[in-house]
Structures are given as C-alpha cells and as structure tokens.
Amino acid sequence: MKIRIAFTVEVDADEVYRFQESLDATDEDMRSFVRSYIISGGVGALEEAMINNAFAYEAVRVVE
C-alpha cells in the first residue's frame, strides 16, 4: 500500500543552519536537509516501533 504524506514545516533557519554546521552537512541546501531528516526519522521511528513489538523488519520504505 502506498500512502502519500504531505505537510509543511516552519523552521528557525538560523538554528537549523547551526545544526547543519555542527553535523558538517552544509553541502546540502536547508530544504533538502530538513526534508530528508524528517523522512528518515519518521520511517525509522515506525520501523523501530514495529520491530520492538515483534512485527516485520523493513516493512516500511520510502518511494518517490
């Protein structure tokens, strides 16, 4: 099953940029950085919750 999730986030650009700098991730534009960070975190959280409750590993993947 495919589920499309679309939303907008408001960020403090200065704080996000400082965070990017701390990770040495300034080669990526802020929009891409925030998008990939949120997607990977969300997918990871769902997978971890499923694994911790004895459900299948790799049951969630991002498709574009």
Question: Residue 6's pLDDT is what?
Answer: 92
- Residue 16 and residue 33 in contact, taking contact as beta carbons nearer than 8 Å: yes
User: In which residue ranges of the chain is pLDDT below 70?
Assistant: none
Question: Residue 15's pLDDT is what?
Answer: 97
Question: Residue 25's pLDDT is what?
Answer: 92
Q: What percent of the chain has pLDDT over 70?
A: 100
CA of residue 25 relative to chain centroid, distance = 15
Query: CB-hemisphere CA count at 13 Å for 58?
Result: 0
Distance CA 14, CA 41 (A): 21
- Residue 24 and residue 32 in contact, taking contact as beta carbons nearer than 8 Å: no
Question: Residue 57's pLDDT is what?
Answer: 76
Amino acid at position 47, single letter: E
